[in-house]
Structure 1
């Protein structure tokens, strides 16, 4: 089988890169990582030479290029069904897709007000309109799935759905947005995952500083 190559942007800032990287790393899928830093105010022109969309992340498998975080996760889940990136049960698989797609298409207020930044000191900020509603909806998603599965992750074992929400865990943590014990317990499980710790360590060691924005 041709090797998998995952192109990503800065680990400190790139929420979309974090998702498939944590998914693949979290279930021990072997891949080559290529980081193209966002070290220009307008991004990095080298990204366009690699990615059809001009954005990261992008997975290359032989001649095939796949972009968008959840498309990458689904593709690899099909390549390695035994890895557990998606639940085995058809109904749970559909639910995992639903919440992952909701993560992709929603929560703009939260993402805009609270950019991912691994190195940011923890502390509250004034929240604009819409953020509290986003937080409440995400808490409801997590709580419903955790109550059904028994945890510690959304579908019991770590899956691609957890990876899709990994940047939200970072946002909830560093901006001190939640206080419920069950939500904090899920966040603790995510932050303790070896894949999370590996990403965080690399993010803290990065030299690049860019303006806070959704990346």
Structure 2
């Protein structure tokens, strides 16, 4: 298997696919492209067979190609067993699926105003009411998942799974922009941040020399 990803410091969707592969337990080769470099436009034009969507992440498994993070996770779940990613309980699994789908399609204000930047730390940031509403919604979901289904461990549904894979970049954003969160959320964020796979990704991000200036400025409301 080969996984094509973008900069570890900035590419939130790449992080999700990478964590999904780690969760699968399958071996894979990672190929990193600098999505902020001058060569990126030409890479996208010339990589139709390698990156059909012109975006990252992309997973190659022999002749099979998957080019969306949610699709990658689902492909891997079918390949290794869905219980490795999703709760066994029907009710818990239904909520986990809904949370992942919502993360995949929503929170545009938070995404645009607070892009992932693993290395950066901001203080006293001001964000829009729309981004604040996104944060409140996420915290509500985290609280419900933890209260109802989190008794088996420190993650959203107890053990590390698909929901944590998809909300890991949100944890990174909250840390980067100094978002104030309640105690239960801090404990959850620490569990994600200190996870060995997340620490490996952070180390890779810190070792990168690429800088995308547009993601280095404080949010503008």
Q: Is the TM value for this pair above 0.5?
A: yes
The corresponding residue for 1:163 is 165
- The root-mean-square deviation of aligned C-alpha atoms, in Å, is 1.7
Q: Which runs of 5+ in 2 are unaligned?
A: 216-221
The corresponding residue for 2:219 is none
Residue 193, structure 1, aligned to residue 195, structure 2: yes
The corresponding residue for 2:124 is 124
The corresponding residue for 1:38 is 35
The corresponding residue for 1:55 is 55
The corresponding residue for 1:109 is 109
- Write out per-residue CA displacement over residues 99-149 of structure 1, whole angstroms, 9 at most, x where no aligned residue: 111001110000111010011124231112301100000000111001112
The structural deviation recorded for 1:193 is 0.4
Matched residues in 2 for 1:53 and 1:82: separation? 26
Matched residues in 2 for 1:212 and 1:148: separation? 39
Structure 1 pair 20/189, CA: closer, same or farther in 2 (3 Å)? same
Matched residues in 1 for 2:10 and 2:80: separation? 28
Contact 2:121 2:178 in 1 (8 A): no
Residue 140, structure 1, aligned to residue 140, structure 2: yes
Structure 1 pair 166/100, CA: closer, same or farther in 2 (3 Å)? same
Structure 1 pair 78/110, CA: closer, same or farther in 2 (3 Å)? same
Q: Which runs of 5+ in 1 are unaligned?
A: none
The structural deviation recorded for 1:97 is 1.6
Report how many aligned residue pairs link the two structures.
210
Contact 1:17 1:69 in 2 (8 A): yes
Local SS of the residue matching 2:55? coil
Matched residues in 1 for 2:68 and 2:182: separation? 31
Quick one: higher RCO (CA 8 Å, sep 6+), 1 or 2? 1
Report which stretch shifted further, 17-26 or 90-99.
90-99
Matched residues in 1 for 2:133 and 2:82: separation? 36
Report which stretch shifted further, 6-15 or 176-185.
176-185
Contact 1:26 1:194 in 2 (8 A): no
* TM-score for the superposition, normalised by structure 2: 0.89
Local SS of the residue matching 2:25? coil
Superposed structure 1 runs of 4+ greater than 6 Å apart: none
The corresponding residue for 1:66 is 66
